[in-house]
Amino acid sequence: MTEKERKTVESDQRVDTDRIFTLPNVLSIFRLLLIPLIIYFYETYHYVWAFGTLVLSGATDVVDGWIARTFHLVSDFGKAIDPIADKLTQIAILLCLMPMQYWWVVGVVVFKEVTIGLLTLTAIRRTRRVYSAGWYGKLCTVLIYLSMFVLMLWRNPNPTFVLVDCIAICCAVTLSFCKYFHYFMGILRENRRQKDSEKA
């Protein structure tokens, strides 16, 4: 590959990653718009509609990732907006579903998302790169969505089931937190070493 061809490829890649108005990104924004609709349906006792809208939100989450990878529409904006839409949906719906005595679960989720979010922003600012979700984050998301589906349809769940479900969510969130924390701290340490070596 000649130098001119290499620069052309790099330019095309930058254009792809800088794109905002792609179908996957539109679907992520659509998921954000579904959040108040789900809450409205749930709070007005239209549980079937709330469940259907939540399923639609989960389906678009799967579809937008598949479209982005299959048709090479992965973008930096998409890598940022997709997890934001996921986390806001999870937190908002869990606040609606969890009985008062189990709201500590939401607190655990919020603590994890805020802490990892700050680490992610720090890593992006220092390395100028946007990072995708790991398998542990995806596993945590799947478990939380399954919990929301069950709790939304099961109007009077067994207290033991709710407790076990809360413990399972906290375990998944803790695993995800530890893996992400180790991952981003490694990135920040490596970035610091590179800058120190450049100064030397």
Task: Give residue-wise pLDDT tens across range 131-166.
Answer: 777 888 888 888 988 988 888 888 788 888 888 989
Q: What is the pLDDT of residue 34?
A: 95
Give dist(CA 164, CA 143) in Å, integer: 13
Those residues of the chain that have pLDDT short of 50 are: 1-15
In this prediction, residue 6 carries a pLDDT of 41
Distance set, CA 188 to CA 42, 67, 129 (Å): 42, 31, 12
CA distance 94 to 72: 33
Residue 83: predicted pLDDT: 83
Q: For the whole prediction, is pTM greater than 0.95?
A: no
> Please, what's the b/e burial string for 122-148 (b: 16 or more CB within 10 A of its CB; e: otherwise)?
ebbeeeeebbebeebbeebbebbbebb
Task: Give residue 112's pLDDT.
Answer: 92
Q: How far apart are CA 121 and CA 47, in angstroms?
A: 36
